[in-house]
């Protein structure tokens, strides 16, 4: 025996919830005063309340939530479907007072992810993938903003993207949902969660939620066929080596609360900064 104690998923979850509470006290509730209700979905039939963080397992949850609403698998998994709008038709938005009451009596959870991994994923899928006309345009717009080379249609580098994200925040422009900080999407300090699921331990966390809610056989994992070009560690090196120390600091500042609230560390990115 080497003396290491492996914690159960239940203990890990309890640690995450306790850490969140302590970090919220330390950061004055993440600087928030009213709960942001836009991204909470209350699935009354299954007694579940979910705050969705885009680029953090939403495919699986939209797949299940919309399937429970009677929508066909083809439609849910179609690239052109806006699954959030689809879900809203069946699961209407709740005002802050109603939402906070719902949280008391419903199994409430959030799915989170390392903030910079989420950013890489958003950059790869939205700006490089360019499947959607909106992101194709945005991609060109970002390129033109940081390159004065007369090209109308360049592809922005990760450095361009990082600068854009920081500039938008500085100019108080609303941030795109796919890279908006979790603290702004879900105001987690003002919520009450039963479960914090992490993308890094999605399988075991999902199994724990399934057991706790009695939804065995009802929740199926789903994957869109978006494929990554390189392993994650390579992408981290490739993208973060483009940033200067100042650019990294500005980006980190933007996501600092997400790192703090959910126990993530920026360490593995720092080694690549030029």
Q: Predicted confidence band at 79 (pLDDT cuts at 50, 70, 90)?
A: confident
Q: Predicted confidence band at 225 (pLDDT cuts at 50, 70, 90)?
A: low
34 part of a folded domain: yes
Q: Higher model confidence: residue 132 or residue 235?
A: 235
pLDDT for 212 equals 96
**Looking at the DSSP assignment, which residues form a beta bridge with residue 107?**
48
Q: Higher model confidence: residue 152 or residue 120?
A: 120
Q: Predicted confidence band at 165 (pLDDT cuts at 50, 70, 90)?
A: very high
Asked whether residue 223 carries a pLDDT value surpassing 90, the answer given is no
99 part of a folded domain: yes
Asked whether residue 80 carries a pLDDT value surpassing 90, the answer given is no
Q: Assess contact for 186 and 51: CB atoms under 8 A.
A: yes
4 part of a folded domain: no
Percentage of the chain exceeding pLDDT 70: 97
pLDDT for 74 equals 92
pLDDT for 227 equals 61
Closest CA to 216 of 229, 225, 224, 207: 207
pLDDT for 172 equals 94
Task: Report the distance separating Cα 41 and Cα 87, nearest Å.
Answer: 8
Place of tokens 């953090």: 56
Task: Enter the tokens of residue 140.
Answer: 């060109």
Task: Report the distance separating Cα 114 and Cα 268, nearest Å.
Answer: 11
Q: What is the mean pLDDT of the chain?
A: 94
Average of per-residue pLDDT across 191-202: 97
Q: Which residues, in sequence order, are CB contacts of 228 under 8 Å at separation 6+?
A: 124, 235
Q: Assess contact for 198 and 205: CB atoms under 8 A.
A: yes
Average of per-residue pLDDT across 249-256: 98
Please state, in angstroms and as integers, the Cα–Cα distance from residue 272 to each residue in 136, 156, 245, 260, following that order. 28, 20, 10, 21
Q: Predicted confidence band at 1 (pLDDT cuts at 50, 70, 90)?
A: low
- pLDDT one-digit tens code per residue, 97-145: 999 999 999 999 999 999 999 999 999 999 998 778 999 999 999 999 9
pLDDT for 41 equals 98
H helices of the chain, in order, are 9-26, 58-68, 73-77, 83-90, 96-105, 115-122, 133-146, 158-170, 182-186, 202-213, 232-240, 245-261, 267-270
3 part of a folded domain: no
Number of domains composing the chain? 1
2 part of a folded domain: no
Closest CA to 255 of 113, 53, 116, 110: 116
Residue 247, domain extent: 9-271
144 part of a folded domain: yes
Q: Assess contact for 158 and 251: CB atoms under 8 A.
A: no
Q: Determine the Cα angle at 250 with ends 248 and 252, to 5°.
A: 65
Average of per-residue pLDDT across 173-202: 97
Task: Output the CA torsion sign for 197, 120, 266, 253.
Answer: negative
């Amino acid at each position: 025996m080497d003396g290491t104690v492996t914690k159960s998923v239940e203990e890990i979850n309890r640690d995450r919830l306790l850490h969140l509470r302590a970090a919220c006290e330390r950061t004055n509730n993440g600087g928030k005063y009213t709960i942001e209700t836009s991204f909470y979905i209350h699935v009354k039939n299954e007694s579940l309340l979910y705050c969705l963080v885009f680029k953090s397992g939403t495919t699986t949850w939209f797949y299940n939530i919309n399937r429970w609403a009677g929508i066909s698998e083809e439609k849910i998994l179609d690239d052109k479907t806006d699954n959030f709008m689809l879900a809203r038709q069946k699961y209407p938005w709740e005002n802050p007072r109603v939402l906070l009451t719902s949280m008391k009596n419903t199994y409430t959870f959030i799915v989170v992810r390392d903030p910079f991994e989420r950013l890489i994923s958003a950059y790869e899928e939205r700006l490089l993938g360019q499947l959607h006309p909106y992101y194709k345009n945005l991609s060109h717009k970002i390129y033109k903003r940081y390159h004065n080379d007369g090209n109308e249609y360049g592809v922005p580098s990760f450095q361009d993207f990082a600068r854009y994200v920081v500039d938008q925040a500085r100019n108080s422009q609303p941030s795109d949902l796919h890279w908006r900080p979790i603290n702004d999407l879900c105001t987690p300090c003002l919520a009450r969660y039963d479960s914090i699921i992490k993308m890094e331990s999605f399988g075991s966390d999902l199994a724990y939620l399934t057991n706790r809610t009695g939804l065995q056989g009802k929740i199926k994992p789903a994957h869109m066929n978006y494929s990554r070009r390189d392993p994650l560690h390579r992408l981290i090196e490739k993208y973060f080596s483009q940033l200067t120390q100042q650019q990294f600091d500005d980006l980190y500042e933007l996501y600092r609360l997400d790192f703090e609230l959910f126990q993530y560390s920026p360490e593995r990115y720092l080694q690549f900064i030029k």
